Copies of this chain bind each other. A is one copy, B any other.
Amino acid sequence: MSSAERQLHLNLFILDTGHHEASWRLPESDPLAHIDLAYHQNLARIAEAAAFDSVFLADAPALWGDVGQRPSGRLEPILLLAALAGATSRIGLIATASTSYNDPYNLARRFNSLDHLSGGRAGWNIVTTAGDAAARNFGLEAQPAHAERYERAAEFLEVSARLWDSWQDDAVVADKERGVHALAERVHPIEYAGRFFRVEGALNVPRSPQGHPLLVQAGSSESGKDFAARWAEAVFTAQLTLAEGQAFYADVKRRAAAFGRDPEHVKILPGIVPVIGDTEAEARELEAELDRLIRPEFAQRQLAGLLGLSPEQLPLDQQLPADLPEEELIEGAKSRYTLIVELARREQLTARQLIARLGGGRGHRTFAGTAEQVADTIEEWFRHGAADGFNIMPAVLPSGLEVFAERVVPILRERGLFRTEYTGRTLREHYGLPRPANQFVTA
């Protein structure tokens, strides 16, 4: 492998017993895995042994969907990653947190703390949180409008960035002789006053190894892509076809350049749900076996909710109603809505068929095939302007991760696409990104 060759990035998206919603029903699955530390330690260690860039946990501050359907209720992800920090030493740790239902002082501090605890391995998947359920846990009747949520997110990031820089890197002098621990003139109250937030500062923790956590984002609406282009260093996205993936990739890179950023400093990671068999037929049978375990009445309620319908408006053996609203009118997860509706229309799927398609990846691309075929599709997207890396979303965990690490990763290495061992220490170094300078220091 030539060291100059562009390298692929791999993130493990951990979700309970796997991304297929029926994975917990398999004999091998522990249905209490989602609240078990040892289970997550094991996953993180497998991913680290394969030199993955990072692991990632999704989140929302509300109970989602049907508690019968699948393991529901999750441990708070920043805490879970703090517990994993001690069990790992190199892999990056990316947690989701909402800008709509947090205070910037507390949240900026928690990511700073995770970065200290992990020696510079923290990442933040910034979300605005769709849905009224979350809003109603925080004193509101309904969620703020989509545009309003993104405006708050923008201000949240402004405040956070200032807090993360409020201690200069050289503020702590630890001069025992003179009895001076830090220099007050190198610690800056931020004195922020905006539309959503007023924060005096400074942060109550010194600057962290990475300066601030790696910023990750996954919004795909217009506001979402602009936000990503302004702030994100890595972008998670759900893309079903190569052409769509290429269009999204080009779009975000162009927007980043328009913000004056180096497009190489925004890494695009589409999701893939790899279902791997010794033959393609075996992989497809694995997939079908999982789909048979989906209980359609649960999935019907969930899909109806996402489309803003009642379950009765969504008969299982008919196609979607013709009069669904336009994306502009959706205040929830706009782009996911569009993706699902377009998929159903394009392939003329009944609700039942759509549910099976979504059961694996909820809109992410499921790819059933041999290890070689999985490596081929990864390489294809990577070489043809659709991806800088992938968000690996195994249908079943831990087995789907183990198979990926044992069979696909070696092929990617042989092709010179993926590292054989870590070359950097911090999460940002894994992604080949520069450490952010401190805005309070001009030198």
Query: Which A residues contact B (CB, under 8 angstroms)?
Result: 22, 24-27, 29, 31-32, 35-37, 41, 60-64, 66-76, 78-80, 82-87, 101-103, 105-106, 109-110, 113-114, 116-117, 133, 136-139, 167, 171-172, 174, 176, 179-184, 187, 197-206, 293, 295, 298
Partner of A31, one of B102, B172, B198: B172
Partner of A176, one of B25, B174, B204: B25
Q: Are the C-beta atoms of B41 and A86 separated by less than 8 Å?
A: yes
A sample of 6 inter-chain contacts (CB < 8 A) reads: A37-B86, A37-B117, A61-B105, A79-B117, A80-B117, A83-B117
Cβ-defined contact, B72 with A204, below 8 A = yes
Closest to A179 in B: B295
Given contacts A75-B117, A139-B198, 6 further A-B contacts (CB under 8 A): A61-B204, A68-B181, A70-B181, A74-B204, A76-B205, A86-B86
Whether the Cβ atoms of B106 and A102 lie closer than 8 Å is: yes
- Asked if residues B198 and A35 are in contact (CB atoms below 8 Å), the reply is no
Residues A109 and B295 in contact in the complex (CB < 8 Å), given A37-B117, A67-B181, A201-B137: no
Instruction: Compute how far the CA of A129 lies from the CA of B117 in the bound complex, rounded to whole angstroms.
Output: 25
**Closest approach, in angstroms, between the C-beta of A175 and any C-beta of chain B?**
9
Q: How far is the CB of A190 from chain B (nearest CB, A)?
A: 9
Contact (Cβ within 8 A) A79 B171: no
A116 and B35: CB pair below 8 A?
A: yes
Query: Contact at B181–A71, with CB atoms within 8 Å?
Result: yes
Contact indicator B179/A293 (Cβ below 8 Å): yes
State whether B199 touches A139 (Cβ < 8 A): yes
Q: How many copies does the complex hold?
A: 2
In the complex, chain B residues whose CB is within 8 Å of the CB of A32: 172, 174
Interchain CB contact under 8 A, B117 and A62: no
Question: In the complex, A31 Cα to B173 Cα: how many Å?
Answer: 9
Min Cβ gap A235→B in Å is 26
Would you list the 8 A-B pairs with minimal beta carbon distance, nearest first? A31-B174, A136-B200, A67-B182, A82-B82, A75-B113, A105-B137, A76-B113, A73-B205
What is the CB-to-nearest-CB distance from A396 to chain B, in angstroms, rounded to a whole number? 13
Neighbour of A181 across the interface among B69, B109, B203, CB < 8 A: B69
Q: How far is the CA of A176 from the CA of B23 in the complex (A)?
A: 10
> Do residues B293 and A109 form an inter-chain contact, with CB atoms below 8 A?
no
Max chain B Cβ within 10 angstroms of own Cβ: one of A24, A137, A293 = A137
User: Chain B residues with Cβ under 8 A from A172's Cβ?
Assistant: 31-32
Contact of A83 (CB < 8 Å), options: B72, B82, B174: B82
Chain B residues whose C-beta falls within 8 Å of the C-beta of A37 in the assembled complex: 85-86, 116-117
CB pair B204–A63 under 8 Å, yes or no, is: yes
A184 touches B67 (CB 8 A): yes
Once the chains bind, are A200 and B137 in contact (CB under 8 Å)? yes
Take A35-B205, A85-B37, A139-B197 as given contacts and tell me if A63 and B117 are in contact as well, using a CB distance cutoff of 8 Å.
Answer: no
Residues on B with beta carbons closer than 8 Å to the beta carbon of A74: 204-205
Q: Hey, which chain B residues are within 8 Å of A62, CB to CB?
A: 204
A113 to B32, CA, bound (A): 14
- On whether A75 and B116 interact (CB within 8 A), knowing A200-B133, A200-B136, A295-B179, the answer reads yes
How far apart are A203's CB and chain B's nearest CB, in angstroms? 7
Tell me the nearest residue of chain B to A297, going by C-beta. Answer: B179
Q: A67–B87 Cα gap in the complex (Å)?
A: 32
Q: A63 contacts B202, CB within 8 Å? A: yes
Contact A181 B72 (CB under 8 A): yes
Cα of A132 to Cα of B290 in the assembled complex, Å:
56
If A63-B187, A72-B181 touch, whether A79 touches B80 (CB-CB below 8 Å) is no
Bound Cα distance A27, B176 (Å): 8
Contacts of A103 in B (CB 8 A): 101, 138
Complex Cα–Cα for A202 and B136 (A)? 10
Q: Are A176 and B61 in contact (CB under 8 A)?
A: no
Alpha-carbon distance between A171 and B79 when the two chains are bound, in angstroms: 24
